[in-house]
Structure 1
Amino acid sequence: MANPQTWLITGCSSGFGELFVRQLRALGDNVIATGRNAPSKLAHLVDTGAKILDLDVTAPVAEIEAKMAEAWNIYPGGIDVVVNNAGYILSGAVEELTAQELRDIFDTNFHGPLNITRALLPKLRAKNKGTLLYISSQAGWHADPGAAGYCGSKFALEGAVECLSQELAMFAPGLKVLIVEPGYFRTQAFAKINHVPPRVPDYAQFNTAVRAVEAGIVGNEPGDAEKAVSIMVDLVKGTGVAQGKDIPLRVPLGSDGWGRIRAKCENMIKICDEWEEVAKSTDIVKPE
């Protein structure tokens, strides 16, 4: 490969992260695979030739900055693509969630990607070339009972990253920002859900039902994770399914995610149409 790209990927112990490492190394790209307790948790990736870097995305900002400085210098020319993939699912009704549990999931799913982004932006802006890829979810669009922690963190991430994309269009137009919104894919995500301990007896039956639904998803996800990662690589490189296309900020993946996002948009348009006059009636009347 004449000009291999250098990718930094978070959350590489399994799922999309691991698949990114394997597919990109097969293409001949340079990969910096990161994860918590990397020497042990990422040992299965050593034979790919990827560089292994221990990284906890919830670490203090100074530590994140030091790790990103180290990562930048691993390969000549620095980093070309950042894949913010680390994250987890938290399950629990709002009334049973604690403020600390919400802070914890936001630290991983929201603050982690943004802290990594800020640590790398000065160098990426100087290059004015590369891609910032954020693995979001269909949960960045719609809600499910018991998923406030996860949905909230993904809603927040998408809002912040959309602002970032508009800022970089002014300050570094050569930098591409991309949000991918997968539906349910056959990774280990649903087998590793963090459940809130039972705290309110009234929610016992609800929690039993939610956990039954979650358990039923495992092994029955409609999405092929290998295909999803291959398409995400295409979106970054402008190859394959992305050849010759203008890549939008958001791209949904999976028939289930696509369907739920589309339905949410259509319902919102319906609400805007039905409530148009009421919405506009609140404007200050300008003197003629």
Structure 2
Amino acid sequence: MSSVPPAQPAERTAHGRVWLITGASSGFGQAITEAAVTAGDTVVAAARRPEALDALAAAHPDRVIPVALDVTDPARISAVVAEVLLWYGRIDVLVNNAGRGLIGAVEESTDRELRDLMELHFFGPAALTRAVLPQMRHQGSGAVVQMSSMGGRFSFPGVGAYSATKFALEGLSEALAQEVAPFGIKVLVVEPGAFRTGFAGGGALQQSAAIPAYEETVGPVRSGLPGSDGKQPGDPAKAAAAILTALDAEHTPLRLVLGNDAVDGILGHLDAARAQALAWESIGRGTDFED
């Protein structure tokens, strides 16, 4: 479908919360859609190829509404949000989930690759967030879920471009959370590790043209990440359940780390960052003007 289908007036708010989820046809997006419907909510499930959601929509008539959306198209973003508000009167939860991976050393990554990934992971979610906020502020409630990654908290060889986009999204979201809290709006940044989604498989994972000099540092990622497809330890259904639990909590965290690998990696990174800051504390504190 290219637009949100008309609903009968009695149906517009008949089923709990109304969600708008991008990248809903697979992976985390599909898992969150299924969890939300199971919880009694209605999901406008956005995807570039919404026909991939036909089976799920058929299983949940008037509860899963597929809609075509490329999050890099600002005009389409405005149209979809306007249509959802027209037919359902509200958007209670926005999930910015659409995304893909890119492997390449910083020197290997082209300007076009960097810009395209930033459009998908940063400018698109920013535009969708801005589009839903006026209505959320008006109703005095709502939630914005930003699907980031453990790579949004720390980075490593071969994923610099990907991490840069997630770092940007997390910085925006940290400020956003403080700005919208007085209006009763929650912001949840989700930082998963390796989950059994389609992220690393098929044509979903793109790779920059290789420079032989980086074989030692980036080569293992080039082979290892695609090789992990279907073997990742994380269960997307459990991730979706954790996200709903966090949203329903009285004190929703700003960041939700999912997966043992992500928890271990982020805690280790935080410990190392603190140790380095303390090691150089005296130098840092010595750079102010003398009174």
TM-score (normalizing by structure 2) = 0.89
Is 1:140 paired with 2:152?
Answer: yes
Partner of 2:6: none
**What is the DSSP-based 3-state SS (H/G/I as helix, E as strand, rest coil) of the residue aligned with 1:144?**
coil
Cα separation, 2, equivalents of 1:25 and 1:214: 32
Is 1:23 paired with 2:35?
Answer: yes
Is 1:260 paired with 2:271?
Answer: no
Shift of 1:126: 0.8
Shift of 1:160: 0.6
Partner of 1:36: 48
Instruction: String of CA shifts for 1:21-76, please: whole Å, max 9, x gaps.
Output: 222222221110001032x23223222330111111000x233112211122232x
Instruction: String of CA shifts for 1:211-259, please: whole Å, max 9, x gaps.
Output: 2211332222111111110110111123xxxxxx522211111111011
Identity, in percent, stands at 39
2:70 and 2:76 in contact (8 A); partners too: no
Is 1:72 paired with 2:82?
Answer: no
Shift of 1:122: 1.1
Instruction: String of CA shifts for 1:184-216, please: whole Å, max 9, x gaps.
Output: 111111112111133x34345655432221133
Cα separation, 1, equivalents of 2:43 and 2:33: 6
Q: 1:183 aligns with which of 173, 183, 193?
A: 193
Instruction: String of CA shifts for 1:73-94, please: whole Å, max 9, x gaps.
Output: 232x311111111111111111
Cα separation, 2, equivalents of 1:231 and 1:2: 25
Is 1:276 paired with 2:281?
Answer: yes
Instruction: String of CA shifts for 1:71-119, please: whole Å, max 9, x gaps.
Output: 22232x3111111111111111111111110000010111111100011
2:20 and 2:45 in contact (8 A); partners too: yes
2:188 and 2:254 in contact (8 A); partners too: yes
Partner of 1:89: 101
Which blocks of at least 5 consecutive residues in structure 2 are unaligned? 1-12
TM-score (normalizing by structure 1) = 0.90
Cα separation, 2, equivalents of 1:204 and 1:254: 28
Q: After TM superposition, what 4+ stretches of structure 1 lie above 6 angstroms from structure 2?
A: none
Please tell me the root mean square deviation across aligned C-alpha atoms, in Å.
1.8
Cα separation, 2, equivalents of 1:233 and 1:103: 32
Partner of 2:4: none
Q: How many residues end up aligned between the 2 structures?
A: 274
Is 1:118 paired with 2:110?
Answer: no
